[in-house]
Amino acid sequence: MAGNWRHICVDMQRMFAEDTPWRVAWMEAISPQVVEVASRHSEGTIFTRFCPPARPSDAHGMWRGYYEKWWMMTAEHLSYEMLGLVPELARLSPPATIFDKHVYSPWMDGRLHAGLTNEAVDTLVVTGGETDVCVLATVLGGIDLGYRVIILKDAVCSGTDETHDASLELLGSRFSAQVELMLTADFLSSDPQGGL
């Protein structure tokens, strides 16, 4: 595959895979594809992690109300281990990188974009969850920053089928000049070695 690319694996964390109010049942089904990409290209993989505040009062703006609703997912109630990656991905870091964020998008504070720019990265390959929340925010931010974005459509998941399907339809049609939807097997068979 042409271009200097990185794999952004979105929020494949224990708190979404295990028995919590935020569990995403589909995560188990997409894990083999995510693990295959990350294993083959661990040095070029960036694992984002969604990190709630210690308590709702530590959040700003509308996030405070969000965490008042989801108080049980704040750091004072949820064990730190639950923020970690699922075990089959955790073993890949290092050499894979972990990038912590406190909102849906990984782009808000500029650190990720600056790091990718320093490495002349022009293409992002996106996996993980959820398709209609953090994956969507990752993709739209990548588009705005000028990256070519490839979504591995069998390696993203959501807790809701309807909005998962709608998100992929939206990204594949309205953003077709900047986004490509691809199956994991097709991506891996394209010999994506450039930049890693």
Q: Does any domain span residue 92?
A: yes
pLDDT in tens, 91-147: 999 999 999 999 999 999 999 999 999 999 999 999 999 999 999 999 999 999 999
Span 24-51, pLDDT tens digits: 999 999 999 999 999 999 999 999 999 9
Does residue 58 form part of some domain? no
Quick check: is 29 in a domain?
Answer: yes
**Domain assignment of residue 109, given as a range:** 5-52+83-189
Would you say 196 and 43 are in contact if contact means Cβ atoms under 8 Å apart?
yes
For residues 98-132, one letter each, b for 16 or more C-beta atoms within 10 angstroms of the residue's C-beta and e for the rest, the string is beebeebbbbeeeebbeebeeeebbbbbbbbbbbb
Residues 87, 91, 92, 97, CA torsion sign: positive
Residue 160 lies in a domain: yes
DSSP state of 76: T
Neighbours of 144 (CB within 10 A): 12
69 part of a folded domain: no
Domain-located, residue 109: yes
pLDDT at 124: 98
Is the pTM higher than 0.85? yes
Report the candidate in 116, 98, 94, 72 with the shortest Cα–Cα distance to residue 11.
98
Do 11 and 49 meet the contact criterion of CB atoms below 8 Å apart?
A: yes
Number of domains forming the structure of the chain: 1
Q: Is residue 75 part of a domain?
A: no
**Residue 158 belongs to a domain with what CATH number?**
3.40.50.850
Instruction: Please report whether residue 30 resides in a domain.
Output: yes
